[in-house]
Amino acid sequence: MCSTLTVSNNPQSLYNAQATLAHLDRAATNPGAPPAPENQNDMEVRQMTYETGHYTALGKGDSSLDGCLFVHSTDPLVLIEEIMQLFQSFEKRIISLREHQASLEHRVQTLTLCEDSYKPLRNRFISTFKRDILGNATSTDLGIIGEGNQSAECGDAIADAALYTDDGERSDAKTYTSLYGLHPLIVSQIRHQETIDILNAHATTIACKEKTVSDEFHRRFAHFITVFTEHGDGFEQGYLSGDPTEVTDAYWEFMRCLNTEVRWVGDSD
């Protein structure tokens, strides 16, 4: 039977976890020193360390979180490394969950509209992107934009793909690929929500004329698309579960770019 060291976002729990790291670091760097008198924190650390017994990785699925840290060893250096790995895993998952939440909120909002009103909204999103960002809007695009006073602000890879694959309302698939990185026929076959989320995040970002992105942003997204389509048998959709792959690394590299390589127009920071 294994015991657990629970880490939460509670301030006291985080403080205790930091105390654990400090205590273990002292023990690892100066093992021959006489023990210092224990304060309350050290006593808690000793108890937490005593109860720690086994390690299991995060990942019950692409969108799951495990609130506990399990470790194989009571060796201080091993404990420090594995606790830090846990924090890094939480940080990555938080970034992913934020994008997933934004995508879901958008879907809930738009799905409350009837299909007849949502299709024009999606049409205007693509045509507005052509007008404001690409600068190649046609007279048809301008007509689509002028037909309504409500516009979409977020990407929706699945709904936009349907404009090309279901009724053939649009034929400018190159524009769709500029937004989402893949042809609409391909995207319509993807059932992996995290992949759809990252395509939506890219489209939402580059379609916003109030935002600017760096060359690194473009490079990281292009790299993700390349390895996603070419790694292994291609279109790997389990890259966030199991052992990390090249696709896993490319996914997280681009997700970090959403925080570091995007600026609001006029923002000097």
221: its two tokens: 């997204």
Examine the domain organization and report whether 202 and 223 are in the same domain.
no
- Strands 262-264, 211-213: pairing is antiparallel
Examine the domain organization and report whether 154 and 226 are in the same domain.
no
CB of 7 closer than 8 Å to CB of 65: no
CA-wise closest residue to 97 among 237, 214, 198, 245: 198
Strand partners, 152: none
Examine the domain organization and report whether 174 and 202 are in the same domain.
yes
Examine the domain organization and report whether 264 and 182 are in the same domain.
no
Q: Is residue 152 part of a domain?
A: yes
Examine the domain organization and report whether 61 and 74 are in the same domain.
yes
pTM of the model: 0.62
Q: Is residue 19 part of a domain?
A: yes
Q: Which helix (H) or strand (E) holds 14?
A: helix 11-29
Examine the domain organization and report whether 197 and 123 are in the same domain.
yes
Examine the domain organization and report whether 121 and 64 are in the same domain.
no
Q: Is residue 238 part of a domain?
A: yes
According to DSSP H, which parts of 112-233 are helical? 115-129, 139-146, 157-165, 173-180, 184-187, 193-206, 215-230
CB of 5 closer than 8 Å to CB of 48: yes
Domain boundary pick from 209, 242, 258: 209
From first to last of the 269 residues of the chain, give the pLDDT tens digit: 443 444 444 445 444 555 555 555 555 555 555 555 555 555 544 444 444 433 333 333 344 444 444 445 567 777 777 777 777 777 777 777 776 776 676 666 555 445 677 889 999 999 999 999 999 999 999 999 999 888 789 999 999 999 999 878 999 999 999 999 999 999 999 999 999 999 999 999 999 999 999 999 999 999 999 999 999 889 988 899 889 999 999 999 999 999 999 999 988 66
Examine the domain organization and report whether 196 and 232 are in the same domain.
no
Structural domain including 118 reads 113-209
Examine the domain organization and report whether 178 and 235 are in the same domain.
no
CB of 209 closer than 8 Å to CB of 133: yes
Q: Is residue 236 part of a domain?
A: yes
Examine the domain organization and report whether 203 and 135 are in the same domain.
yes
